[in-house]
Amino acid sequence: MLRYVYASDLCDHPKLARTMFRDRADQFKTRLGWDVHVDKDGYERDEYDDLNPLYVIWEEPDGSHGGSMRFLPTTGRTMVNEHFGDLISGPITSPVIWECTRFCLTRGAGSHVAAALMLGGGEIMQNFGIEHFVGVFDARMVRIYRMIGSSPDVLGSAGTGRDRISVGLWHFDEAAAAAVGDRAGVPMERSRQWFDLAFGTASRRELARTA
């Protein structure tokens, strides 16, 4: 199932948090060889995890992490503005654009997990009044996004081949979200139930007004 958890509430989901940060270390440090910090507990965390981001997490039946993404509003600090500004024409700052980073899949995760995470992003977009997500991605993600059916508009790139890094902009409408839901094997009614479990049905309109 999909979980929507703010960093400040990760303490309520200790196994989910522990396995998420360890899976991030495995993916970004071990498998991809990125220059990221892994602490003594084997966690990959960075400065943006300290800004109370919203995580969308695929929770496996045993309560462990299967995949996740991290979201922050661009009205505050973001990775794309602070570290990848050379790939865009100017800072991206808007109340209707959020940044999505740290797209992570545990080893052996099925394609349905990646699609479910994108479906969760669509729920955030539709219910929080967000128009676009911006994010940085590498060359390997192009195939994954195409498989999911959620390819971004590329704003700028650097490098070639497997070392190519790009900044992309995503938009979801209801039809696109339904198509991603089909790929995830998740009916839209169930997706909305998972969102409501985190935020409540009565709060949707308020979330859209205040996001």
Domain spans of the chain?
Answer: 2-199
CB proximity list for 75: less than 8 A, separation 6 or greater? 93, 94, 95
Instruction: Look at residue 201 in the predicted model and tell me its pLDDT.
Output: 67
Burial of 131 (0-12, 13-18, 19+ CB in 10 A): middle
- Could you give the CA distance from residue 156 to residue 144 in angstroms, rounded to a whole number? 19
CATH number of 2-199: 3.40.630.30
| 20 compared with 172, residue with greater pLDDT | 20
Instruction: Look at residue 210 in the predicted model and tell me its pLDDT.
Output: 52
Residue 59 pLDDT > 50: yes
Residue 111 pLDDT > 90: no
- Could you give the CA distance from residue 173 to residue 161 in angstroms, rounded to a whole number? 31
Please state the rounded mean pLDDT for residues 163-170.
Answer: 91
For tokens 């979201």, the residue is: 71
- Could you give the CA distance from residue 188 to residue 65 in angstroms, rounded to a whole number? 22
Please state the rounded mean pLDDT for residues 87-109.
Answer: 94
Tokens for 4, please give them: 């929507």
Residue 189 pLDDT > 60: yes
| 128 compared with 177, residue with greater pLDDT | 128
- Could you give the CA distance from residue 10 to residue 68 in angstroms, rounded to a whole number? 13
Give the three-class secondary structure for 156.
strand
- 8: confidence class by pLDDT, cuts 50, 70, 90: very high
pLDDT above 70 as % of the chain? 95
Integer CA distances (angstroms), 92 to 16, 24, 74, 123, 134, in order: 31, 26, 7, 22, 8
- 150: confidence class by pLDDT, cuts 50, 70, 90: confident
Lowest mean pLDDT among 1-5, 92-96, 123-127, 198-202: 198-202
Please state the rounded mean pLDDT for residues 53-72.
Answer: 97
Instruction: Look at residue 205 in the predicted model and tell me its pLDDT.
Output: 47
